[in-house]
């Protein structure tokens, strides 16, 4: 049993953990630059599939599109090394997002939603994010890394600049949450979904159905270009299909979405 606010360690995470691939090997760091960096190095040394790198805190946590991911103690920051087939690569963000949503629900009872492409929200505020990094060599996946960050026991009152847009499980519930319980459930969900990846269609459908982005007017920034339109659907490769005001359908592979309906 984790004493709240205390450190994580591998044994309570792995003890009697019912997974086949994910979490059979766990590397724990009290402090690290980014679990993505460690995972990349480990993957290059051909680490076992399912190896998890978990850190108490990250000093240079990475978000999407080169953003900084704030990663103080008390939250969840972990990366998982996988070697999927190249056709399954687009599903990794979907399965990771679903695993986060299901774990939050099981452990806390809180409902969370997904914002395309990789945000997990509670009541419209970001509680978690997914980062996928992969390398392809000769048409095959050399490695893929799923990075997951969840604000668990973060007190947003300590970070006033973030409180309009971010939340934590603790702030939503008004009490601390065991990170070990969340991580254990997360690893079980990830393992279950990873094993059914060859039948990717249900994962795609469950992910699509949880996206709060769809059916909304959105602005999407992609580099220096801004797209505006109705988020109509998502394709099986994870890209967003945006119906623009001239009736054309634009496929957006990755971008930064503003959900607020605009005039």
Residues that bind ligand BTN (CB under 6 A): 34-36, 58, 61-64, 67, 69, 71, 77-79, 118-119, 129-131, 147-149
Buried-exposed string 93-120: b where 16+ CB fall within 10 A, e elsewhere: bbbbbbbbbbbbeebbebebbbbbbbbb
Residue closest to ligand BTN, measured at CB: 129
Tell me whether residue 198 is exposed, middle or buried, using C-beta atoms within 10 angstroms of its C-beta: 0 to 12, 13 to 18, 19 or more.
Answer: exposed
3-class DSSP assignment, residue 39? helix
Considering the complex, state which of residue 129 and residue 255 has its C-beta at the smaller distance from ligand BTN.
Answer: 129
Q: Closer CB to ligand BTN, residue 98 or residue 148?
A: 148
Whose Cβ is closer to ligand BTN: residue 164's or residue 174's? 164
CA nearest to 238, candidates 34, 98, 78: 98
Annotate 67-106 with DSSP letters as a single string: -B----TTSEEEEEEE---GGGTTHHHHHHHHHHHHHHHH
Name which of 59 and 85 has its Cβ closer to ligand BTN. Answer: 59
Least distance in Å: CB of 64 to ligand BTN? 4
């Amino acid at each position: 049993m984790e004493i709240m606010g205390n450190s994580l360690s591998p044994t309570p995470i792995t003890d009697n953990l019912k997974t086949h691939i994910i979490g059979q090997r766990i590397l724990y760091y009290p402090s690290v630059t980014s679990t993505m960096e460690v995972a990349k190095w480990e993957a290059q040394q051909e680490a076992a599939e399912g190896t998890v790198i978990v850190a108490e805190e990250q000093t240079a946590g990475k978000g999407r599109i080169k953003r900084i991911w704030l990663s103080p103690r008390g939250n969840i920051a972990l990366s998982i090394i996988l070697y999927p087939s190249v056709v399954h690569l687009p599903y990794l963000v979907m399965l990771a997002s679903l695993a986060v949503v299901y774990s939050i629900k099981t452990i806390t009872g809180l409902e969370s939603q997904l914002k395309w492409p990789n945000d997990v929200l509670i009541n419209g505020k970001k509680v978690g994010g997914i980062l996928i990094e992969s390398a392809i060599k000769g048409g095959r996946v050399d490695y893929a890394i799923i990075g997951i960050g969840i604000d668990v026991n973060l007190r947003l009152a300590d970070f006033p600049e973030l409180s309009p847009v971010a939340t934590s499980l603790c702030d939503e519930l008004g009490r601390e949450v065991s990170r070990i319980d969340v991580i254990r459930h997360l690893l079980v969900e990830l393992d279950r979904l990873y094993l059914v990846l060859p039948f990717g269609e249900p994962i795609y459908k469950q992910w699509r159905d949880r996206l709060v982005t769809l059916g909304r007017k959105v602005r999407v920034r992609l580099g220096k270009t801004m797209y505006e339109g109705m988020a109509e659907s998502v394709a099986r490769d994870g890209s967003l299909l945006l119906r623009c005001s001239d009736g054309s359908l634009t496929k957006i592979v990755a971008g930064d979405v503003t959900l607020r309906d605009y005039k």
